Amino acid sequence: MPAFESFAPGGVAVVIGASGGIGAALVSRLNETDRFKTILGFSRSSPVAIDLADEASLERAAKAAAAEGEMRLVIDATGFLHKGGEGPEKTWRELDAQRLSTAFAMNAIGPALIMKHVLPRLPRSGKTVFATLSARVGSIGDNRLGGWYGYRASKAALNQFVRTASVELARRAPEAICVALHPGTVDTQLSAPFAKQGLDLHSPDVAAADLLTVLDRLKADDTGGFFDWQGAAIPW
């Protein structure tokens, strides 16, 4: 585990989507450190409950976190791939307006609204990081297989929100960092139907440790970037 010495001591660390596989592992890993005075996890079942489709709940969570002290690390670990028996679209023949709307609401609009309420509350000086979990399949430059239309497009939209927000954030807080992260293929409910034998599958705990190591190593010049769990840049 990183020592998080790149962060000023005594701040607040926040995980949004703390009930998911990666989110819960991130909270657990952060609780093993002594760099942050407070670790907060928000989910549908947390004391201050959130719903990505309810902007007011996201604002309440941001206010509650800011009331605890300086938010030095905020990780959005939310994400949506499929529901019920509906898998990702394999062909344009499966495109459906409602399914696309849901993907964009959960993977792009919800995280964008989190940024709306979190980024203005970040400290103006010192290292502070906002990171959201994206996916390599959201890379347009890396797309050679096709398929997964809604998931790919909504994650690409998320990446653009991150890039755009990072520009505005830098004007307010030059040392702040706003990035998108690809956690790899993690053994969670989201990826379970698509895990293939021989695939490099990570446990949530290992994925959380890898992501936190990347975040500890980030510098101000990395803001607006898209990185994988090893810290390597991913093409847009």
- Please write the tens of the pLDDT for every residue from 137-167: 999 999 999 999 999 999 999 999 999 999 9
> Which pLDDT tens digits describe the chain residue by residue (236 residues)?
677 899 999 999 999 999 999 999 999 999 999 899 999 999 999 999 999 999 999 999 999 999 999 999 999 999 998 776 678 999 999 999 999 999 999 999 999 999 999 999 999 999 999 999 999 999 999 999 999 999 999 999 999 999 999 999 999 999 999 999 999 988 765 555 555 555 567 899 999 999 999 999 999 999 999 999 999 999 99
- Find all residues with CB under 8 Å of 102, minimum gap 6, and list them: 80, 83, 150
- Tokens standing for 100? 């696309």
* Domain boundaries along the sequence of the chain: 11-228
Q: Residue ranges of the alpha helices (H) in 4-96?
A: 21-30, 55-67
pTM score = 0.93
Provide the CATH number for the domain formed by 11-228 in this structure: 3.40.50.720
Distance CA 167, CA 178 (A): 9
The total number of residues shown for the chain amounts to 236
